[in-house]
Homo-oligomer: A and B are copies of this chain.
Amino acid sequence: MDMQKVESNKYAYFEENTSAEIVNARMGSEASPRLREVMSSLVIHLHQAIKEVEPTHEEWKQAIQFLTDVGHICTDWRQEFILLSDILGVSTLVDSINNRRPTGATENTILGPFYVPNAPRYANGANICLDGKGEPLVVSGRVLNTAGEPIPGATIDVWQTNDDGFYDVQQKGVQPDWNLRGVFTADADGKYWYRSAKPHFYPIPDDGPVGKLLGVLGRHPNRAAHIHYIVTAPGYAPIVTHVFTPDCPYLDEDAVFGVKHSLIADFQKMEDENRAESLEFSCPFWSLNWDFVLASQG
């Protein structure tokens, strides 16, 4: 037995104290610098967490089984690992890291699974609530740059749930196609406006392993009520964002940590019969004034 060989590589054999360094030392020259960076950090933090927690063999097996269950429920139309990323705040964190904006610019959020491209283009003022459900809402505002100047021609792509808490694509044949979706264009003063219905909170899919995890964590699956927007204009960084109602019971407890303080909007309840009539609304109705502020393309 060649003891010299045995001693030659300090990271050859497993030791608890240096376990992460031992694993990372194994990477070969074929690993790209970026993969090396990513895996090193993941291995170090994973081993640190395990050393803090000291899982029993039974707990380790439970974790393996949980990940396996999450994998098994994934299909072309259901992505349970994204759900897991969502409820651990990872999706929002990754989005935030990749979309840091100058002060005053509208903050970004995750896109979410319910965006559909090529929604109908409408003139300002159109009503996108095609099922007639819910409390009427009129939204108006401007698209501005960080100097406060209007951005004429900016595109505002909007989508939201109906009053039952479902997107049209979740209820094909029940809701009209393209219900509560539309693309608007800011006018010469950067102004846009449209009619809709107040959005409703809704649960993320909670009949799988992620839903079970939420249960044992003492958490509910509900997303705070919101409207989704993508706002774009040439020369500016696109904004993907949510705007939240301030009175949703889940505002402080959004299941996927999508709520940012700056995105909670002042939805006002309106009792103005004349204005309701001119909007072809019942009364009372809701009014939201909301400006988007775009940063120049980095």
Which of A's residues lie within 8 Å of B, judged by CB?
1-2, 5-6, 8-9, 12-16, 19-20, 22-23, 26-32, 35, 37-39, 41-57, 59-60, 64, 67-68, 70-72, 74, 79, 81-82, 85, 88-98, 100, 215-219, 246-247, 251-253, 257-261, 264-267
Contacts and interface: CB of A to CB of B under 8 A. Distances in A.
A66 to B, nearest CB: 9
15 contacts: A1-B247, A2-B246, A6-B246, A14-B259, A15-B261, A22-B257, A23-B89, A31-B217, A41-B52, A46-B88, A50-B93, A51-B93, A60-B91, A67-B67, A72-B72
Contacts of A219: 26-28
B46 A90 contact: yes
A74 B44 CA distance: 26
Nearest to A267: B1
Residues of A contacting B: mostly: helix
A243 B16 CA distance: 18
A94 B50 contact: yes
Number of copies: 2
A61 to B, nearest CB: 9
A257 B19 CA distance: 9
A218 B31 contact: yes
A65 to B, nearest CB: 8
Given A43-B89, A46-B88, A252 B12 contact: yes
Contact of A27 (B6, B95, B217): B217
B217 A55 contact: no
Contact of A81 (B29, B64, B92, B100): B64
A199 to B, nearest CB: 15
A19 B89 CA distance: 7
A251 B12 contact: yes
Contacts of A5: 246, 251-252
B52 A81 contact: no
Contacts of A266: 1
A149 to B, nearest CB: 27
A49 B45 contact: yes
A88 B14 contact: no
A90 B50 contact: yes
